[in-house]
Amino acid sequence: MEQGWTVQRVPAADGAEIVLHSIGAGPGIVVVHGGGVTIEIYRRLAIRLADRLTVHLYNRRGRADAAARAEPYDGEQDIDDLAALLTHTGARNVIGHSGGGFIALRAAARRLPIDRLALYDAAVQVDGLFPAAWLPAARDAARAGDLARAMALTGAGLNTQSATSRLPLGLQVAMCRLFIRTPIGRTMAELLPTTLDETTLIFRHDGPPEQWAGVDAEVLLACGGAGPGRPTTGRPTRPWREPCRTPAPWWCRARVTTRSTVPRATWSTRSPSSSPPR
């Protein structure tokens, strides 16, 4: 592990341990990672932020050094674990990515002590925006052990804006078989059943944007340049605009790339009256 990282074991509400990896100095910020990955792909982000923030990474249940996940999955452990980490670290700032964005947003809606919340490519279903018809076939393929097919169906279902999603399914499956040979592809394939469980939960929470109107944290919504971007509904909604002191429509205010601009954009894209992270 690179110099500067500290590791702590934080008690969870159910008695398990949450392994917390931290780096940096300054106000604390907790990163809630996406579904099919571990904290390893977020270490570069943490290092980029470490000159001004204390960045806390942790693997969510069922991944790497994390405890086992309760079944059937309902997301409650994820919220409880985030609550435990906010209490332990005193951090009041959270970054949620993809499925982790969904967890962080649910936590904020329950009034966990979150002052500032940055959601990057958050996996939140609003008014049936994203198609869900692909999910049963992907789950069937995963249960049958055909992870390449399950991954192809998942990728095409979640990334409908991608040119790859329009290729013949057989070609997509072949590409996924090659991808699974890489370290990140192998991790994503191993975690795919977990990802599909989380996706099912996200779709189950489909509804109007008003369901998030109780969030009183300052929220930044951001999406990657290669992501789905602005939904086709194209309508700003008051429930997002009123509680979010950052003046962002619910679809996306900042389009940032995953390589160099995420760390700077996360906390620099804010209203002029905003105070620094606490």
The three-point CA angle 248-250-256 to 5° equals: 65
Angle between helices 192-204 and 147-158 (to 10 degrees): 40
Rg of the chain in Å (alpha carbons): 18
- pTM for this structure? 0.82
Per-residue DSSP letter, 207: B
Cα–Cα distance, 149 to 177 (Å, whole number): 8
Under 8 Å between Cβ of 251 and 230: yes
Cis amide leading into 72 (omega within 30): yes
For residue 264, what pLDDT is reported? 31
Task: Please tell me the predicted confidence (pLDDT) of residue 107.
Answer: 97
What is the reported pLDDT for 85?
98
What pLDDT is recorded for position 28? Answer: 98
Q: pLDDT 10s digit of each residue in the chain, 278 long?
A: 457 999 999 999 999 999 999 999 999 999 999 999 999 999 999 999 999 999 999 999 999 999 999 999 999 999 999 999 999 999 999 999 999 999 999 999 999 999 999 999 999 999 998 899 999 999 999 999 999 999 999 999 988 888 899 999 999 999 999 999 999 999 999 999 999 999 999 999 999 988 998 899 999 988 877 666 544 333 333 334 333 333 333 333 333 333 323 333 333 333 323 343 44
Exposure string of 246-257, with b = 16+ CB inside 10 Å and e = fewer, is bebebbbbbebe
